[in-house]
Structure 1
Amino acid sequence: MARNSRSAPAAKPRVGASVARSAWRDRLLAWRLHHRDSALDAVNRMRNQPISTLMTVLVIAIALALPTGISVLLENARAATAGWDGQAHLSVFLKKATNETAQRQLATKVGQRADVERVQVITPQQALDEYKTLSGFGDVLEALPDNPLPPVLLVFPKDTRPEALATLQTQIKALPEVDLVQLDVEWVKRLHAMIELAARIVTVLTLALALAVMLVVVNTIRLAIENRREEIVVVKIVGGTDGFVRRPFLYSGFCFGFAGGVLAVVLVQAALLWIGSPAEQLIELYDSEYNLLGVGWANLFMLPLFAGMLGLLGAWLAVSRHIQDVDPHLL
C-alpha cells in the first residue's frame, strides 16, 4: 500500500518548442530593428555632414549623368533617324522592250513579296517629263527621235538593314524582265555603323564610370571606418560580430549611391530642358514633327537603384577589406 500510495513525479511542462519559437522571433526582431537603426544612422550621418555628403553625391551624380545623358541623346538620334531608312529603295531598270502592262504585272509580283513594303512604277514618259523639268534641256530632248529612258520600278523594302537590302537586290536582279538594279546603300551602312559605334562607346563609358562610382564609395567608406575606429573597437569588445559592424556602412554606401542616382536623373533632365528650345527650333527648320525624348520612366527608377547597388558593392568591398584591420586585441 505504501508503494501504491507513493505519489508519481509531476510531468515537466513541455516548453521547448515555445522557447525555440520565442528565441527565433526575438532574433528576427533584433535583426530587423538593427537594419532599421542602421539605415536611419546612415541617413542621419549624411545629414550631419552636409558638405562632404554633397561633394560625394555630386561626384557620383556627374559620373552617372555622363553615360545616361549620352544614352538619352543616342535614343533621340535613333528615333529621329528612324524614318530615314524608309527612303532607302532599289531602282529597278527594266528592259526597253517591256511594255506598260508587263511593268504593272511585274510591280504587282514584286509588291507581293513579304520583304517589300510598296512598289512605284515610273514609265519612260514619266521619267522623260521629269527629266525635262529638272534638267532644263526640254528643247534638246524634244529633238530626239524616240524616248531613250527605260521603264523603272522603285522598290521600297520593309527591312532596310544592309544585308537584307543586298539579298533583295540579288533576287530582283535575277528576274528576266530586269536589266539593272541600283542600290545606294553606303549611307545606310554609315548610319547603322555610327549608331552601333555610339552604343558601344556608351557601354564602355558606363562600365568605366560605374567602376569610378564604386571607387568613390570605397574611399568614402574607408574614411568613415577610420573615423569610427574607436566605436568599432568598443562594439567588438562587447561581442559585436563583423556582420553587426558592417551593416551601417553598407547602408551608407547604398544611400550615397541612391542619392547620386537621383541627382544624376535631375541633372540629365535639366540638361535636356536647357537644350530643348534650340533643338525644337532646329527640328522645325527641317519641317519635322519629332519630339525630344526625356530620361524616361525606366531610367527614372532604374538609375537610382543601379547606383544604389554600385554604392552597396563599393561599401562591401571597403568594409570587407578594412574591418579586419580594426582588431581590439592589437590596441
Structure 2
Amino acid sequence: MARAQSQNNAAESAPPSWLTRVAQEHARVFFFSLGKLVAHKGSSLLTAAVIGIALALPAALHLAVNNFQRLAYTWQNDLQLSLFLKDSVDEASGRQLTQQLASRDGVKAARYISREQSAAEFRELSGFGEVLDLLEHNPLPAVIVVSPDASRSAAQVTVLAQALAALPEVELSQMDQQWLQRLQSLLSIFERVVMMAAALLGVAVLVIVGNTLRLDIEARRDEIIVMKLIGAPDGFIRRPFLYGGCWLGLLGGWVALLLLTVGLAVLQAPARELAALYQSDFTIQGPSAGSVLMIIAGGVLLGLVAAWWTVTRHLAAIEPS
C-alpha cells in the first residue's frame, strides 16, 4: 500500500511532457493576447475596421465580377443564330433543313420562319409595314433561327456558326455575340484589376498591423529588455505579438464580411427591380462558403505575416545595454 502511494506521488510530481508544456504555453499566450485586445478594445476595433475595409474592397470587386459573369452567361444562353435562306430554297426544303439542323450536334433547337411570317413580323415590329405594300414581291427571305447548346463554349459556338454559314442553302448568317465577347474581355481585364487592388490593399493591411504592433513593442520596450536579460529567446518574446496580429486579422476579416453583407442587403432590392424590368429572375449572389473562408484566412495570414515581419525587425534593434 505504501509502495503504491509512493508511486502515485512520483507520477504526480513528474514534470509534464514536452507536448504538454508547448500546449500550455500556447494556451497561455492565446488568452493573454486576447485579453490585451479586449483591454484596448477602442484602438483594436479601429484597427480592425481599417483592416476590414481594406479586405472588403477587393472582395466586393471580386463579387461584382462573379455576378457580371453569371449575368453574361445568362445572356449567352439566349443567343440565337439567324440563317437567311436563298430565294431558290422553297418552304419544303427549308423545313427539311430545319429538321436536320435541330438534330445536329451542338444545336439546342431550330425554328423555321417562312417568308410570309417574316413579312408579318416586319409589319408588326418595324412600324414600316406600308413599305411592303408598295412592292410587287415580298423581299424578305425565309429564316432558320438556331439556338446553340448552352453547354458549349464561345469558341465552339463560333465554329458552329461558321459551319452553318457555309451551307449551300444559306445566303447570310448573323449572330450578335460580338458584344458578349467584348464584355468577357472587359471582365477579364477587370479580374486582373481586382488582383492588383487586392495585392495593394494587402500591403496596406501589412502596414496597418505592423504600425499597431510597433507601438505595442515600444510601449513594452523595458519589459522586452528585462526578458532578454534573463535569457528569454526571441521566439518566446515574439509569440504574444504573433497571436495579437492573428487576432487583429481575424477581427478585420469579420468586419469585411459584415460590410459585404450590408452592401448586398442594400443592393438586392434595386437589382431585383431592374431584373424584373427585363423579365429576368437574376439576383445578386453573395460570397460562397469558400470565399468567406478565404477572407477570414486572408485576414489572419496578413496579420500573422505583418506581426512576424514587424516584431522580428524591432526585436533585433532592442538589446540590453
TM-score band, normalised by shorter chain = 0.7 to 0.9
2:81 maps to which residue?
A: 90
Q: Spell out, residue by residue over 1:13-52, the C-alpha distance to the aligned partner (whole angstroms, 9 max, x if none).
A: xxxxxx9xx77x5222221111111111111111111221
Contact 2:268 2:283 (C-alpha < 8 Å) held by counterparts: no
Find the residue that maps to 1:91 and give its secondary structure: strand
Identify the range of structure 1 (56-65 vs 143-152) with the bigger mean alpha-carbon deviation.
143-152
Superposition pairs for residues 67-146 of structure 1, below 5 Å? 67-138=58-129, 140-142=131-133, 144-146=135-137
Superposition pairs for residues 1-331 of structure 1, below 5 Å? 26-138=17-129, 140-142=131-133, 144-158=135-149, 162-328=154-320, 331=321
Write the distance in 2 (CA, Å) between the matches of 1:281 and 1:137.
33
The letter for the 2-side match of 1:96 is D
Contact 1:162 1:188 (C-alpha < 8 Å) held by counterparts: no
Q: Please report the TM-score for the alignment, with normalisation by the length of structure 2.
A: 0.88
Indicate how the Cα distance of structure 1 residues 232 and 302 shifts in structure 2: closer, same or farther if over 3 A, else same.
same
Find the residue that maps to 2:73 and give its secondary structure: coil
Gap regions ≥5 residues in structure 1 = 1-18
* Greater C-alpha radius of gyration: 1
Write the distance in 2 (CA, Å) between the matches of 1:324 and 1:251.
19
Q: Spell out, residue by residue over 1:108-135, the C-alpha distance to the aligned partner (whole angstroms, 9 max, x if none).
A: 2222333222212111111122122234
Q: Spell out, residue by residue over 1:78-112, the C-alpha distance to the aligned partner (whole angstroms, 9 max, x if none).
A: 33343211232221112212122322222222223
Write the distance in 1 (CA, Å) between the matches of 2:271 and 2:86.
47
Identify the range of structure 1 (255-264 vs 185-194) with the bigger mean alpha-carbon deviation.
185-194
Indicate how the Cα distance of structure 1 residues 87 and 277 shifts in structure 2: closer, same or farther if over 3 A, else same.
closer
Q: Please report the TM-score for the alignment, with normalisation by the length of structure 1.
A: 0.85
Find the residue that maps to 2:74 and give its secondary structure: coil
The letter for the 2-side match of 1:287 is Q
Contact 1:249 1:315 (C-alpha < 8 Å) held by counterparts: yes
CA RMSD of aligned residues (A): 2.3
2:7 maps to which residue?
A: none
Indicate how the Cα distance of structure 1 residues 116 and 235 shifts in structure 2: closer, same or farther if over 3 A, else same.
same
Shift of 1:60: 0.3
Write the distance in 1 (CA, Å) between the matches of 2:255 and 2:128.
63
Number of aligned positions between the proteins: 309
Q: Flag as ranges the 4+ runs of structure 1 deviating above 4 A.
A: 136-140, 159-162
Write the distance in 1 (CA, Å) between the matches of 2:297 and 2:247.
10
Identity %: 35
Shift of 1:308: 0.4
Shift of 1:227: 1.5
The letter for the 2-side match of 1:258 is L
